[in-house]
A and B are shown apart, each in its own frame.
Chain A
C-alpha cells in the first residue's frame, strides 16, 4: 500500500471516529433540524444530498490545499466565507425552528409593511420550511464551509500531501481525494442521527415539534453567536 493510500485509509477512519464524537455534537443539531423540518417526508435522500454537497465542498477545499500547499494562507483567505456559513447556519436553524413552531412573528417584525402573500413572507416561509429534496445539495455545499477542527486537521494533511506530490494536477487530485474520503467517513454517524430523528413514531408527536422548535432556536442562536465571534 502506497503512502497516499495509507493516508486515505487513515483519514477515512478519522472521519468515521470523529463523526461519532465531534460531528454528532457540532453538526448533529443541523442534521436533526433538517430531519424534523422534513416532517412527513423521508429523511435519507435529502440527507444524502446534503452530505454529497458537504463532501464536494471538502474536496474542492482539499484540491486548493493540494495545489497551494499553504494551509494558513488559504484558511485566512476563506475565513470570511466560513464566518458567513456559520451565521447562515444559525439563521436558517432559527428560521426552521420558528417556522416549525408556528411562532414566526412576521407581522410583529414588519408591522404595517407585512403582507401575508408579499415577498418577505414568502421568502421567510421558503427558508423556514425547506422541504424540497433538491434544496439539500446547495445547503450541503454552503454548510461544508463551516469551520471545524477535524476538517482543518484533514486540510493540513491535504496541504502536506500537495507539497509531496510532483505535479500540480496530481497535488490537486491527491488533496481532493483525501478530503473526500474524510467526508465520506463522517457520513455514517450523521445519517444515523438523521434516521433516529426522522423515525415515524417520533415525528407523529406534536410535543416533539414543540421541544424540537425550542432546541432548534437555541442551537441556531448558539451558531449565530459563534459565527459573529469567529
Chain B
C-alpha cells in the first residue's frame, strides 16, 4: 500500500511540474480566448455594426465615386434577405468600360469562401446578375459587396441583410 502511494506520488510529481502547469493553463487560456473571440463579436466595429455600414440597400440604391465614374448598386427584391435569389444591378456613369464588372460577396473580417455574381450588360452602362447572400449561423448580418470593374478598380458596399 505504501509502495503504491509512493508510486502515485512520484507519478504526480513527475507530471505536475510547475512549468507544465504554467504551459497547461496558458494554453487553456489561449484556447478559451480563441474560441470566445471567434464566436462572439470581437471588435468595437462588430459591436457597433452601424459604423461599418455605408449603404442602405433596403430603401434604395447606393452610390460610390471611383475617379470619374459613379458606381451605383441596387439589390432587389427589397428588403434584402439572405438565402433568397437576389438581383444585383450595377449602373456605371461616365467612362465607358470594355470588360463586364462582377461582384464578390463576403463578410467583413470573416472568410466565407468565393461567392461571385457575374454581371451581364443590359446596355447604357447597366449590368445585372443574380446571386445569393448566405446566412451565417453566428447571427452576424453585416455583408460586403465588392464591385470590381476590370481595368478600373473596385468599390466596397457594406450593408446589413435580413435573416
Contact = CB atoms under 8 A, between A and B. Distances in A.
Interface of A: 10-11, 14, 17-18, 21-22, 24-26, 28-29, 71-72, 75-76, 86, 146-150, 152-154, 156-157, 182, 201-202, 204-205, 208, 211, 215, 219, 222, 226, 229-230
The secondary-structure label for the interface of chain A is helix
Contacts of B94: none
Interface string B111-144: 1111100000000000000011011111100000
A71 B84 CA distance: 9
B83 A149 contact: no
A226 B137 contact: yes
A18 B113 contact: yes
B83 A153 contact: no
Interface of B: 15, 20, 24, 28, 32, 34-35, 38-39, 83-85, 107, 110-115, 131-132, 134-139
Contact of A201 (B20, B131, B136, B139): B20
Nearest to B28: A211
Nearest to B109: A21
A149 B107 contact: yes
Contacts of B110: 21-22, 149
Given A14-B114, A153-B112, A222-B39, 17 more contacts: A25-B34, A28-B35, A71-B132, A72-B85, A76-B83, A86-B137, A147-B137, A149-B107, A150-B112, A150-B113, A153-B113, A153-B114, A153-B134, A156-B115, A157-B114, A205-B24, A215-B35
Given A18-B111, A150-B111, A230-B137, A156 B28 contact: no
15 contacts: A11-B113, A22-B110, A22-B111, A25-B38, A29-B35, A72-B84, A72-B85, A146-B137, A149-B135, A149-B137, A153-B113, A156-B131, A208-B24, A226-B139, A230-B137
Nearest to A202: B24
Given A25-B35, A149-B137, A72 B20 contact: no
Contacts of B38: 21, 24-26
Closest 3 CB pairs of A and B: A25-B38, A153-B113, A152-B134
B31 to A, nearest CB: 8
A26 B111 CA distance: 13
With a 10 A CB-CB cut-off, give which of A29, A152, A201 has the most chain B CB atoms: A152
B6 to A, nearest CB: 18
Given A76-B83, A201-B15, A201-B20, A156 B132 contact: yes
Given A149-B107, A205-B24, A215-B32, A26 B138 contact: yes
Contacts of B114: 10, 14, 153, 157
B8 to A, nearest CB: 12
A208 B32 CA distance: 12
Contacts of A204: 15
A222 to B, nearest CB: 7
Contacts of A157: 113-114
A100 to B, nearest CB: 16
Contacts of A147: 135, 137
A17 B111 CA distance: 8
A11 B113 CA distance: 8
